[in-house]
Amino acid sequence: MSSPADVRKRMPYEEVPGEDPTDSIPIATSSLTGAPLQTADAASCPLSSTQLAAPAASDKAATVSTQSAADASAVPSNFVKDWHNIVLLVVLYLLQGVPVGLAFGSVPFLLKAKLSYAQIAVFSLASYPYSLKLLWSPIVDSMYVPSFGRRKTWIVPIQLAIGFLCLWLSTTVDSYLTDPAPHMTTLTLIFLSLVLLSATQDIAVDGWALTLLSKENMSYASSCQTIGLNTGFFMSFTVFLAFNSVEFSNRYLRSVPGDVGVLPLGDYLWFWAIMYFLVTLYLVLFKAEQRTDPAEAMGVAETYQTIWSIIRLPHMRHFIAIMLVAKLGFIANESVTALKLLEKGFGKEDLALTVLIDFPFQIIFGYYAAKWSTGDNPMRPWTYAFVARLVLAVIDMVIVAYCPTDGISTGYFAVVVAATVLGSFSSTVQFVSISVFMTNIADPIIGGTYMTLLNTLSNFGGTWPKYFILEAVDYFTVATCSVPDKASNAFSCVDEAGKSLCGELTGQCVAERDGYYLVGATGIALGTLFFFGYILPEIRRLVRIPISEWHLKSSKPTELAKEK
């Protein structure tokens, strides 16, 4: 009810001087359904990209440098001149969105049918690399083979690695999902590798956009990113989940009902493995890259020193603290609510349809949120949306509590859709508002490094609590299986194995305490306390600080790392 990754994943939005903030409209994800929310709000990856988040979202920003984008805004765009490079960028970003959509969205939903929340918490670790890519982005920017190309040095081998990994996984993943518990470590490591490779590719593609497009078309870079990433995420989450659903396939795609969906995960991975190979072959044979002047690149050590200097700014420490705790109030809603609905009988095909309905609203909300975030206090809409997300977290728990057990009615489905749309709205407003504020305070001399740092921290604020939230849901849940055979002892049926055994014994699994409500209520209480006790007064103070106080005093007017 709110929205890969994240990813809410899912994308960070960067406004540049001289550019209308509505030119690049972000997409957010919904906590209840996991539709692609902004990647910057990756925690809200549908589930939030559940984040499950958009990112998604799913957590990214257009990495056009502040200076180059400002220069480009003075030159009329010429789409025809760069149409082939624009298409290439969209395709490269789409390829990134495919594994991210699986890791943040579809696979956790598929696993929930047979695993506990604690086991899914382990799998959620696979999404962490996308929120931590700042840690190795200076290496990607600075180390390359000049004769092959600064960006192709990374993109080509990474895409080959993802392709081979998907090809191998396509032969085994369906058997893993049949009985996932013994294979959880393998599945987590595989998808962690896919997300790590996609995050690294993202760094290289962001940087390539700066030279791949001509100066007059530089403003298309963020649009390529938004379209590509969200399309890839949407296909791997919403489209795949629908075609993988037995109910959806039998209802809409088959004349004779079957026992499985029309699109197994193995076949889906095989198709994208071939696509990775074809695109990589095109890059190697037909796409040359401009040679990079070594003087344009900031060294690895210098970039890390710059990042550390930004973090040490007095006001920045308070802003970082806000970003790391701000999502605690609704992270349980965005990480667990959609899974809980599925557990209670809400169909995967209904979930996919909800996301499909929500998707166009996200685009509209992004446009208006950018308009509302202009002015002297872009964080004012952020504070309003914060309260809205807390309220929606309460409403979503009520919706879960009253989920019908005898079939989903049209009225209940409409309520879920409405809550999802409202969640997307509030999440998008928060995402755009904080992105505009971050753009305003970013030091233009080091705009790329500055924005990448802030977006990484914002994303991580929605990622780090997810593991602990999922673990806590199982920890605080008490459920006992009562069997007709008086000689049999009652046993716990919290996890899926216990529930399955209880069903085989014709017993009844009775939930004496559902950890979802306890964890959700605790998060809402903490979020409310943090908001009114610290976040709101601190935000009001930070927005009054002169912009110059956010800049490095010793910044040199040189070309610093512009791409991340």
Higher pLDDT, 208 or 17: 208
DSSP string, 295-345: GGSPPHHHHHHHHHHHHTSHHHHHHHHHHHHGGGGTHHHHHHHHHHHHHTT
Give yes or no: residues 137 and 256 share one domain: yes
11 assigned to some structural domain: no
**Residue whose C-alpha is closest to residue 42's, from 188, 266, 199:** 199
Relative to beta strand 478-482, strand 508-513 is antiparallel
Q: What is the CATH number of the domain that holds 298?
A: 1.20.1250.20
Q: Does this model's pTM top 0.75?
A: yes
524 assigned to some structural domain: yes
pLDDT digits (tens, 9 = 90+) for 393-414: 999 999 999 999 888 889 999 9
Give yes or no: residues 237 and 383 share one domain: yes
Indicate the average pLDDT of the chain. Answer: 80
Q: Looking at 468, 498, 513, which one is the last position of a domain?
A: 513
Task: Summarize the chain as % helix, strand, coil (round to 5).
Answer: 65, 5, 30
564 assigned to some structural domain: no
Is the pLDDT at 562 greater than 50, yes or no? Answer: no
pLDDT at 376 (0 to 100): 73
556 assigned to some structural domain: no
Is the pLDDT at 559 greater than 60, yes or no? Answer: no
pLDDT at 17 (0 to 100): 35
Give yes or no: residues 313 and 346 share one domain: yes
How far apart are the C-alpha atoms of 223 and 234, rounded to whole Å? 16
pLDDT digits (tens, 9 = 90+) for 271-300: 999 999 999 999 999 887 777 666 656 678
Tokens (6 digits) for 77: 């765009």
pLDDT, mean of residues 2-20: 37
pLDDT at 293 (0 to 100): 64
Is the pLDDT at 41 greater than 50, yes or no? Answer: no
Percent of the chain at pLDDT > 90 equals 37
Give yes or no: residues 377 and 505 share one domain: no
Give yes or no: residues 533 and 493 share one domain: no
pLDDT at 165 (0 to 100): 96
Give per-residue burial for 299-329: e unless 16+ CB within 10 Å, then b. Answer: ebebbbebbebbeebeebeebbbbbbbbbbb
455 assigned to some structural domain: yes
Is the pLDDT at 137 greater than 80, yes or no? Answer: yes
Is residue 41 within 8 A of residue 28, CB to CB? The reply is yes
Is the pLDDT at 26 greater than 60, yes or no? Answer: no
pLDDT digits (tens, 9 = 90+) for 90-111: 999 999 999 999 998 899 989 9
Give yes or no: residues 179 and 53 share one domain: yes
How far apart are the C-alpha atoms of 264 and 247, rounded to whole Å? 14
Look-up of token digits 């990994």: 165
DSSP string, 102-155: IIIIIHHHHHHTTS-HHHHHHHHGGGGGGGSGGGTHHHHHH--BTTTBTTHHHH
Is the pLDDT at 312 greater than 50, yes or no? Answer: yes
The residue segments making up the domain with residue 491 are 478-513
Percent of the chain at pLDDT > 70 equals 81
pLDDT, mean of residues 369-398: 88
Give yes or no: residues 336 and 311 share one domain: yes
pLDDT at 183 (0 to 100): 92
Higher pLDDT, 481 or 217: 481
How far apart are the C-alpha atoms of 259 and 385, rounded to whole Å? 43
33 assigned to some structural domain: no
pLDDT, mean of residues 439-464: 82
Is the pLDDT at 16 greater than 60, yes or no? Answer: no
560 assigned to some structural domain: no
pLDDT at 40 (0 to 100): 38
pLDDT digits (tens, 9 = 90+) for 321-374: 999 999 999 999 999 999 899 888 888 778 878 888 887 887 777 777 777 776
pLDDT at 275 (0 to 100): 97
Q: How many domains does the chain have?
A: 2
pLDDT at 130 (0 to 100): 85
Higher pLDDT, 433 or 529: 529
Give yes or no: residues 518 and 482 share one domain: no
Give yes or no: residues 106 and 152 share one domain: yes
Q: Give the range with max mean pLDDT: 9-13, 93-97, 149-153.
A: 93-97
Categorize the per-residue pLDDT at 487 as very low, low, confident or very high, splitting at 50, 70 and 90.
low
pLDDT, mean of residues 389-394: 96
Give yes or no: residues 385 and 355 share one domain: yes
Give yes or no: residues 489 and 427 share one domain: no
3-state SS, 444-495, equals HHHHHHHHHHHHHHHHHHHHHHHHHHHHHHHHCCEEEEECCCCCCCCEECCC
Higher pLDDT, 315 or 52: 315
555 assigned to some structural domain: no
Look-up of token digits 């929205």: 3
Give yes or no: residues 216 and 291 share one domain: yes
pLDDT at 34 (0 to 100): 52
Is the pLDDT at 20 greater than 60, yes or no? Answer: no
